[in-house]
Structure 1
Amino acid sequence: MSFRSAGFRPTVLGSALALVLALSASAVMAQDAKPETATPAAVSTAATPAGAATAAAPAPAATAAAAKPGDATAGQAKAAVCGACHGMDGNSTNAQFPKLAGQSEQYIVRQLTSFKAAKRQNPIMMGMAAPLSEQDMHDLGAYFASKTALPGVADQALVERGQTLFRQGDAARGIPACMACHSIDGRGNPGAMYPQLASQHAQYIEATLKAWHDGTTWGDDAHAQVMPAIAKQLSADDIAALASYIEGLHGTDSQPASAP
């Protein structure tokens, strides 16, 4: 059997061309049907109904848990190392170290934070504060706030002058009354983070006021600038009288204790 070449070629070529076109069309259809490779963000956006993308997106993970109010029981264990200088109950026996007993949690947290950030300079305390978490600070603050400061004794010769400055200030010299911030009984104002002063060692108060007078600050914010500005107006005699009066200050209605 033989085929006529002239009649075979058109038939074969026509069939082949039809097949090629069919295959090409299938390939194009398949390509159109195949989803494009997308980034995860694009896939997520495409899969999320319009207007619901924000609501459906997962919330970012918190970088750190917020500190809870201090736990005095937890703070007691953490305060063991503090006892060497400040006393186990916050009543230091060495007058160069401040009493922490009865001090507010907020104020203690503020000072530890300042030490850790090196805004308040003290080589020992900066080292102690460095490893503390915010929760540690709150726990320590709660523990010492739960304690009571032991009463001190004022020098009777300095009481009158100290009391006048503490309660009235000296308007002529731009010195406000201490009780305006620290309260009449020296218990402070926790909300404003003004510390308790009552019964604090006179030696510590005097050293601190002198340091502020000479330009030391405990930070760079407005709160930290208050006492240095006031201390600059105080004379050495003012500072001694105030420090003694504060150590003997115990309560609103009671006179400060005085040496016989």
Structure 2
Amino acid sequence: MNKLKFAVVVFAAALAAPAMAAGDAAAGEKKAAVCAACHGQDGNSAGGDFPSLAGQGEKYLTKQLMDYKSGARQNPIMQGQAAGLSEQDMADLAAFYASKTIKGGSAKAELVEQGERLFRGGNAETGVAACAGCHGPAGQGVEAAGFPALAGQHASYTEAQLRAFRASGRKDIGAPVYRHNDTDGEGLGMMQAVSAKMSDAEIRAVASYISGLSQ
């Protein structure tokens, strides 16, 4: 994604985003007790079966909960959890997790060079866009646009999501399902388009590199 298109996407996403309630991190901590079994008490999950939420942007987290509730993003576990949440509950949970620090992991030494090259520069030959263009140079995300933070996420989780996006869908916990909230403001699947051009080796490398980043 070139710089001009990225700026347009960020601006469009910011304008299109619905108004969201202000979150209360203290209230969110109490409400997050049920979430701890999968995502950890401080938002750092024990393994890649469930994503770490610590340090994630409030806007992104709130939107994902809203999408789980509406069915725009599907997952049997999360749809059940989000069904009874109010907009205030979602905002409070998002504020709580955003206030925490992700512990992160480490990249495999043999994958660092390739992973960094893809993350920062993409692959011009195959048209793979640089991850940093939308997710920030340190993988910190872009809160204004609702683009998620990636730094420190479990490599196995990131790899699984990239593979699912590549298949033009998203395989979450349970059965294969489709995710309908992957858009660039023009109705196109941003991550589906990017990952469709990535090889297995590239996905492994960039997922490993992202795990070793710190915000």
- With normalisation by structure 2, the TM-score equals 0.83
Distance 1:96 1:128 in 2: 17
Q: 1:103 aligned to 34, 42, 56, which one? A: 56
> Matched residues, percent identical?
51
* Residue aligning to 2:118: 165
Q: 1:222 aligned to 183, 198, 201, which one? A: 183
| Conservation of the 8 A alpha-carbon contact between 2:152 and 2:213 | yes
Secondary structure at the counterpart of residue 88 of structure 1? coil
* Residue aligning to 1:240: 204
Distance 1:70 1:139 in 2: 4
Distance 2:110 2:182 in 1: 37
Q: CA RMSD in A?
A: 1.4
Q: How does 1:185-204 map to 2 (within 5 A)?
A: 185-204=138-157
Residue 94 of structure 1 and its aligned partner are, at CA, apart by 2.1
Secondary structure at the counterpart of residue 126 of structure 1? helix
Q: Which has the larger radius of gyration?
A: 1
Residue 97 of structure 1 and its aligned partner are, at CA, apart by 0.5
Aligned pair count reads: 186
* Residue aligning to 1:82: 35
Distance 1:86 1:141 in 2: 13
* Residue aligning to 2:82: 129
Q: 1:207 aligned to 154, 157, 160, which one? A: 160
| Conservation of the 8 A alpha-carbon contact between 1:169 and 1:178 | yes
Secondary structure at the counterpart of residue 125 of structure 2? helix
* Residue aligning to 1:73: 26
- With normalisation by structure 1, the TM-score equals 0.69
After TM superposition, what 4+ stretches of structure 1 lie above 6 angstroms from structure 2? none
Deviations 1:180-230 (A, max 9, x none): 111110000011011000000000000000000011152256337111110
The verdict on how the C-alpha distance between 1:220 and 1:77 changes in structure 2, with shifts beyond 3 A counting, is closer
Task: Output the amino acid matched with 1:92.
Answer: S
| Conservation of the 8 A alpha-carbon contact between 2:151 and 2:212 | yes
Secondary structure at the counterpart of residue 106 of structure 2? coil
Mind listing any 5+ residue stretches in structure 1 that lack a counterpart?
1-65, 252-260
Distance 1:161 1:220 in 2: 29
Secondary structure at the counterpart of residue 195 of structure 1? coil
